[in-house]
Amino acid sequence: MFLLVAVPVPTLDLLTYSVPDGVEVPPIGARVVVPVGARQLTGVVVDHTARSEAAGGKAIKPIRQALDAGPFVPAEVIGLARWTAEHYAAGAGETITAVLPPKTRNARADAHKTRRVAAITAAGLAVRGERLGATPDVHHGLLAIGATMTEKQREVLDRLAGAPAGVPVPELTARGGADTIARLVRNGWLTVRREQVDRDPFEGALVASEPIDLNREPTREQASAVARLTALAGRREFHVALLHGVTGSGKTEIYLQAAATVRASGRSVLMMVPEIALTPVLAALCRQRFGDRVAIQHSGLSDGERHDQWQRIRRGAVDVVVGTRSAVFAPLDRVGLIVVDEEHDASYKQEDSPRYHGRDVAIVRGHRAKALVVLGSATPSLESYHHAMTGKYERITIERRVLDRPMAAVTIVDMRDEYAEAGPDTVLSRALAAAIDVRLTRREQSLLLLNRRGFATSVFCRQCAGTVECPNCSVSLVVHGDGASRRARCHYCNYTARVPPACPLCAAPYLEQAGFGTERVEAEVKRAYPAARVARMDRDAVRRKGALSALLSRFRDGDIDVLVGTQMIAKGHDFPRVTLVGVISADVGLGMADFRAAERTFQLLTQVAGRAGRGERPGEAVIQTLYPDHYSIQLACRQDYPAFYDRELRFRTAMRYPPIVCLVNIVVRGRTFGAAMDDAAGLAERVRRAGADGAFRVLGPAPAPLGKLRGEYRAQFLIKGVNRKRMRDAVRTALALSPDLARRTTVDIDPISVL
């Protein structure tokens, strides 16, 4: 018997190993230490095989150590990871090992947190009883010892006598001192043991602003949606439902009620959100509804917290898991309901290998578990809506907000007029500035969106028109900070440098900053409204652990008047005090060389406008744009998704883009631009020959929109077709002829971005 083992090496397939004589064969899902070249790696047993020779006739190496006697990773998760590796043309090893929590990927890692706990012994109880006048146990010879007991020792024993399970040693040390504890141990009056402690990510986490009102009467549409979803879940058959509800229509409450029904039937629930920022509130709501049988899974937790939460799920102490895309691989048993909230969001797609889409893997997991999968959004992806319109998914609609609250009134501001009036450096239009002033007077809150970080987006020279660019990437450096703290940073490779005093190309001292990001908006608001409490929420502002939860708590509690942020503020949040949403530049993404640009713009504007007016007071949205007549902006302001879908689908059909066809994006990297183009041309030609019967088309190669990234030049070609397997197999076969090229090639199946 031999083992097929997945090891954490990119592009590497499963490896075959033997089991030494006298060693029990590790089961599928167990971790093993294996030799890979000169290294020792921790892998996962994926299958057993009868093969007796490795490829090329080489002798098969034995495993070095089996770390688990039983399955560490459930078979269901192993199978899902293998499907993911195959579907997304990734290495099976890196895909399967990626589902493990960080502290279990290293054979030498001490994953568990422990603490020392002291407990009183029978002898200690006897001594304490003698002191209180009880009959002493003469067989312990304690009368003389009791006579010499100090007051501190008695206090420690008194504390332990009231805690049968024991007390952490640090607490006792603080009470009596280390010498006192040591003497009590030597006398046999207390014992000290080590016990495992689960690190709790809920400690200090954001809680819901108000407890759930379990008696709140659902709206007619909510009740209808819950009834339909619970009926579907009760069948215990695979089914996908698209819950298409306008912003503020109460989709979260529908998820919770459906989850309660599924839990009552003895099955578990997986609830996925696109951003870490959305997990605290949803997890808190689940804890209020379902108690402590709720776990969190996302990369924002510490390694220890992720490990402990994963272990709680694995040992069956959890019924509900809340997390981001990686939570789709949680070792959850008896899954009956999978919710993918904000299913349209691009964050569900992983940009590093394995390049899986969390939503699509969730659907596959639901199929394997015979579970109900609910995709929820106010702005569904074109793919999901197309599946609903063609009958592949069931569509459930909610067209009205909770309590019949009106949608936000929307004003479009043509920034060309503002620039003509006040100059090109205008950040806040007159309409938006006046609206903010009104909210500050009323003590209401405002959200300002600009999906671009930094203070200025570029630095250019007035003499030669050159820009300060990243030496590793073909992009301009973004200025962060103001005054003496200014730094220029690349948002792709994180290269950082001081903003130069003169042009690096012509040495002229005429450098200017152009464009602006969230830092500049924050500064402008503070300058215009000195008394306002202003904060910023973007990736730079919430890097430290706990910063995000603290910021959201402050805003929810009303301690912030104006919150400036990127798309992090646009999704899923429910802030009842927010009555104004301002979009600083609605067309940031419209000029990108990506066929999804209009869809992303529509989704972002619709979502952020939906943050206003969710409480008792009506909301307003002010949209600043240079393209007020663009259909994505016009239809987003009207919250008219069906009209946008019809318009966008005509474009996708004419240009042969998803959801009409499948798409594969191939990027080849090289040391020079010419080398990248030559390699891409050769690879594209081999793939093109495999599709000569018309099964698919190959477009390109051409220079990638980001022609240089992290020091490597990039060329790109696209594959379009309806047979995803034929396309994937053609690429794999072509790359197998050149292992070196395979290491420099990125294969992205069903890409979200083609940049």
What pLDDT is stored for residue 138 in this prediction? 38
Of 370, 387, 404, which residue is a domain's last?
404
Is there a single domain that holds both residue 240 and residue 380? yes
Q: What does the pLDDT look like over 325-381, one tens digit per residue?
A: 999 999 999 999 999 999 999 999 999 889 999 999 999 999 999 999 999 999 999
614 vs 330 pLDDT, higher one: 330
Is there a single domain that holds both residue 584 and residue 598? yes
Is there a single domain that holds both residue 138 and residue 268? no
Do the beta carbons of residue 373 and residue 240 sit within 8 Å?
Answer: yes
What pLDDT is stored for residue 141 in this prediction? 38
Peptide bond into 354 cis (omega under 30): yes
Do the beta carbons of residue 257 and residue 226 sit within 8 Å?
Answer: yes
Is there a single domain that holds both residue 16 and residue 145? no
Rounded CA gap, 600 and 580, in Å? 22
Mean pLDDT of the chain: 87
Strand ranges in 329-434 using DSSP code E only, listed in sequence order: 335-341, 372-377, 394-398, 409-414
Is there a single domain that holds both residue 575 and residue 600? yes
401 vs 243 pLDDT, higher one: 243
Name the helix (H) or strand (E) containing 511.
Answer: strand 511-514
- Is residue 378 classed exposed, middle or buried when 0-12, 13-18 and 19+ CB atoms within 10 A define those classes? buried
Is there a single domain that holds both residue 335 and residue 397? yes
Name the helix (H) or strand (E) containing 5.
Answer: strand 2-6
343 within a domain of the structure (yes/no): yes
Check pLDDT > 50 for residue 206.
Answer: no
204 within a domain of the structure (yes/no): no
What pLDDT is stored for residue 132 in this prediction? 43
Name the helix (H) or strand (E) containing 489.
Answer: strand 487-489
Any idea what the CATH number is for the domain that residue 560 is in? 3.40.50.300
Residue ranges of alpha helices (H) inside 423-542 are: 430-442, 518-528
For residue 135, name the pLDDT band (cuts at 50, 70, 90). Answer: very low
Q: What does the pLDDT look like over 491-513, one tens digit per residue?
A: 999 999 998 889 888 998 888 88
Is there a single domain that holds both residue 69 and residue 23? yes
Which tokens in the block code for residue 667? 């990027």
468 within a domain of the structure (yes/no): no
Is there a single domain that holds both residue 301 and residue 224? yes
Residue span of the structural domain in which 730 resides: 662-749
The percentage of residues in the chain with a pLDDT greater than 90, rounded to a whole number, is 55
Rounded CA gap, 227 and 136, in Å? 67
475 within a domain of the structure (yes/no): no
498 within a domain of the structure (yes/no): no
Q: What does the pLDDT look like over 625-663, one tens digit per residue?
A: 999 999 999 999 998 999 999 999 999 999 999 999 999
Lowest mean pLDDT among 437-451, 534-548, 713-727: 534-548
Is there a single domain that holds both residue 388 and residue 417? no
Closest CA relative to residue 614, chosen from 213, 249, 207: 249
Closest CA relative to residue 632, chosen from 607, 613, 659: 607
Closest CA relative to residue 212, chosen from 164, 284, 261, 270: 284
- For the chain, helix (H) and strand (E) counts, in that order, are 23, 30
503 vs 299 pLDDT, higher one: 503
pTM of the model: 0.86
Of 599, 629, 651, which residue is a domain's last?
651
Is there a single domain that holds both residue 185 and residue 245? no
Strands 578-583 and 662-670: unpaired
Rounded CA gap, 33 and 726, in Å? 36
Which tokens in the block code for residue 200? 């709790």
Region 120-140: what's the mean pLDDT? Answer: 57
Any idea what the CATH number is for the domain that residue 13 is in? 3.40.1440.60
Phi-psi region of 572 (alpha: psi -120 to 50; beta: other; left: phi over 0): left
720 within a domain of the structure (yes/no): yes
CA 41 from chain centre, in angstroms, equals: 27
Check pLDDT > 80 for residue 609.
Answer: yes
Check pLDDT > 80 for residue 196.
Answer: no
Which tokens in the block code for residue 300? 């924002």
Residue 751 makes CB contacts below 8 A (sequence gap 6+) with 349, 355, 663, 664, 665
Of 65, 100, 135, which residue is a domain's last?
100
Closest CA relative to residue 13, chosen from 53, 38, 46, 41: 46
Do the beta carbons of residue 22 and residue 36 sit within 8 Å?
Answer: no
Is there a single domain that holds both residue 119 and residue 80? no
Region 20-40: what's the mean pLDDT? Answer: 91
463 within a domain of the structure (yes/no): no
Peptide bond into 659 cis (omega under 30): yes
CA distances from 282 to 35, 117, 196, 206, 328 (A): 43, 34, 28, 10, 16
Phi-psi region of 248 (alpha: psi -120 to 50; beta: other; left: phi over 0): left
What pLDDT is stored for residue 199 in this prediction? 64
608 within a domain of the structure (yes/no): yes
Rounded CA gap, 657 and 730, in Å? 20
Residue 185 makes CB contacts below 8 A (sequence gap 6+) with 191, 192
List, in sequence order, every residue forming a beta bridge with 464; answer none if it has no partner. Answer: none
For 477, the 3-state DSSP assignment is coil
Lowest mean pLDDT among 74-88, 169-183, 640-654: 169-183
Is there a single domain that holds both residue 291 and residue 277? yes
Any idea what the CATH number is for the domain that residue 669 is in? 3.30.70.600
What pLDDT is stored for residue 588 in this prediction? 85
Name the helix (H) or strand (E) containing 674.
Answer: helix 673-690
Specify the number of domains making up the chain. 5
CA distances from 417 to 410, 516, 622 (A): 18, 19, 15
